[in-house]
Amino acid sequence: MDRHPEVISHSFLHCIRDMIRLVAALLALAASCLGQWDPGVTNGQVIVHLFEWPWSDIARECEEFLGPRGFGGVQVSPPNENVVVHQDTVTRPWWERYQPVSYQLVTRSGDENAFKDMVSRCNNVGVRIYADAVINHMSGGWPTGTVGTGGTSFDSGAESYPGVPYSGFDFNDGNCQTASGSIEDYSDANQVRNCKLTGLNDLNQGTEYVRGKILDYLNKLIDYGVAGFRVDASKHMWPGDMKAIFDDLKDLNTEHFGANARPFIFQEVIDLGGEAVTSLEYVGNGRVTEFKYGKFLGEAFRGSNQLKWLVNFGEGWGMIDRQYALVFIDNHDNQRGHGAGGKMILTFRDARLYKMATAFMLAWPYGFTRVMSSYYWEQHWVGDHDENDWVGPPMDSQENIVGPTINPDATCGGGWMCEHRWRQIFNMVEFRNVAHGTDMNDWWDNGNNQISFCRGGKGFIAINNDSSDLTQTLQTCLSAGTYCDVISGSKDGGSCTGKSVTVNSDGTAYIEIKTSEDDGVLAIHVNSKL
C-alpha cells in the first residue's frame, strides 16, 4: 500500500529516535556491567601502591610525578579510623591500619579534609584513587578503653564499636564452628569465611544492617571521588554477600567520571591452589589479585625456572583469565614474608632482579598491573621469620607519618624506597601505555634465560638472565631508525642518555645486553625513537 511521504518520514524519524535510545541504553548497560572490572583510568595503564603515604604527599606526587609520568592511579592505605598500637617508641606497626575501629576518615595519613583534597587533586591531573577497603572485620582483641586514631573508644571483647555502631549481634561468632573461634582449617570454606582471621572480630556481611553500614562508608568515598576499591581479605567473605554490597554501590562521581561509571573492584584472594576457596568464585564481582603471578616470576628470575617457558605466561600457567586479573611482583604483605610466595617473592632488596621482573610485567600483555612503592626497614631474621616484619613507616616524635623527601635525581629519601621513581620502572610504565591494545608477537629465546618479544609494532623488549652476554640480531617489529633504550637511560631531546638501538628497514636490530651491565633488560618503543 502506498503511503504519503510525510507519514513515511514521520515513522522513519520515530524509528531512528527509538534506535538511538536503544543504543544509548545498551551502552549504559555495558558500562554498568563492565564497570567493576574496568579500572576507569584515563591517564595510563598502571597503578601504584603508595603504601602508608600521607594524603598530602600523595596529592603532591599525583601532580608532580604520577600524572606527568603516565600513571593511571594510586592504591592508598585504608582511610578509616583504626586502632592505635604502641609497639615501641620508634614506630608503630603498619598492620594497625588493618584493624578498623570506625568508618570515620581519620588516620595517620590525614583527616577527612586531607583525604578529600587528595582525591580531588589527583583526579584533576587524571590520576585515580583506589581505597583499600577493610570490610571483612574490625579490630583484634585490645583492652577495654583502647581508642582509635580519631579518639573513638571501643570494647573488642564485647564486640562493641560505637563509632559505627556495631554490637555483638553484627559478628559471625554464632556461624563459626571452631573451638577457638578462629580459622583452624583452610580446607573448610565455612571456617575461612565465618571464623576470625588471626583473631580479628569477623563481621557478618550476611545481615542487611552490616551491609548497610559498609555501603554508607564506601559510598561516602565514592562521593568524594574515589574510582574504586581494593577489597582486603576478600576470600574471608562470602561472594554472594560481597555482590549484594557491590551491586548497591553508587555510580562514580560525575564531577570526575562519565555518567553510569561504576567503581572498579579488585579483591584480595590468595589462591595458590589446594584450598577450599578459589579465585574463580570471585571473578563475578570484579577483578581478583593473582598471587601466582609474582610467585612464578620470582621463581623464574631467581633461577628456579627458565625464562624461555614464559612464552605462554598467564592462562597457560593456570592463572585466571587476564580480563579478571590484577597482577604485581610483590605487595605489602608478601614482601614481608606474609601472604603467598615465601622467599621466592622479589622485592626492592633484590634490586636488579626486581627491575627485570617488573620490566617483564609491564611489557607482558596479561592483567591490569600494579607497581609497589615501599619504605625501608631493617630485617631481623630468626630462622625463616623476619621479626621486624611489623615495622611501620617513618614517623616524628608525635607519631605522625613523615612522608618521603625527593632527592635531586628524583629518587626518594627519608627512609622511603619509592620503587615507582626508579628510572627502569617509570620508563616501563610509559612502555605499557604505548603498547596498550596490542598482543605479544615474535617471541625469541635462546633455549634458556635470554628472551625477547614485540608488542605489535609499538614496542620491543629483550631480557638477559643468563651467565653469558646476549649478542643477537633480533626482530623488533619497529620501523627503521634510532631508538633510545629506556632501561639504561631515556630519550632527552634529540639524544639518548643511555644506550641506543639502530633498527634496520626489515625491523631487525643488533641487541646487546652484557652480564656486566647494571640492568639485564633492553626496551624500546615508538615514543623512544629519535
Pairing of strands 73-76, 128-133: parallel
Which DSSP symbol is given to 513? E
Q: Identify the active-site residue in 132, 268, 389, 485.
A: 268
**Sign of the torsion formed by the C-alpha atoms of 334, 340, 342 and 344:** negative
Contacts for 185 with CB less than 8 Å, ≥ 6 apart: 178, 191
CB 455 within 8 A of CB 438: yes
CB 453 within 8 A of CB 435: no
Instruction: Name the nearest CA neighbour of 229 among 286, 278, 178.
Output: 286
Q: Mark residue 351 as left, alpha or beta (left: phi above 0; alpha: psi -120 to 50; beta: remaining).
A: alpha
Radius of gyration of the chain (CA): 25
Which DSSP symbol is given to 64? I
Q: Identify the active-site residue in 132, 232, 330, 389.
A: 232
Longest dimension (CA), the chain: 93
256-288 burial, b at 16+ Cβ within 10 Å, e below that, comes to bbeeebbbbbbbbbbbeeeeebbbebbbebbbb
| Residue 232 appears among annotated catalytic residues | yes
DSSP state string for 404-426: PEE-TTS-EETTB--GGGSHHHH
3-state secondary structure of 392: coil
Please give the single-letter amino acid code of residue 123: N
3-state secondary structure of 275: coil
Instruction: Name the nearest CA neighbour of 416 among 48, 46, 50, 47.
Output: 50
Count of CB atoms within 10 A of residue 498's CB? 18
Instruction: Name the nearest CA neighbour of 140 among 94, 87, 198, 186.
Output: 198
CB 291 within 8 A of CB 341: yes
DSSP β-bridge partners for residue 386 = 381
CB 477 within 8 A of CB 456: yes
Distance in angstroms (rounded) separating the CA atoms of residues 221 and 215: 10
| Residue 271 appears among annotated catalytic residues | no
Which DSSP symbol is given to 196? B
Pairing of strands 287-289, 264-267: parallel
The catalytic site residues sit at 232, 268
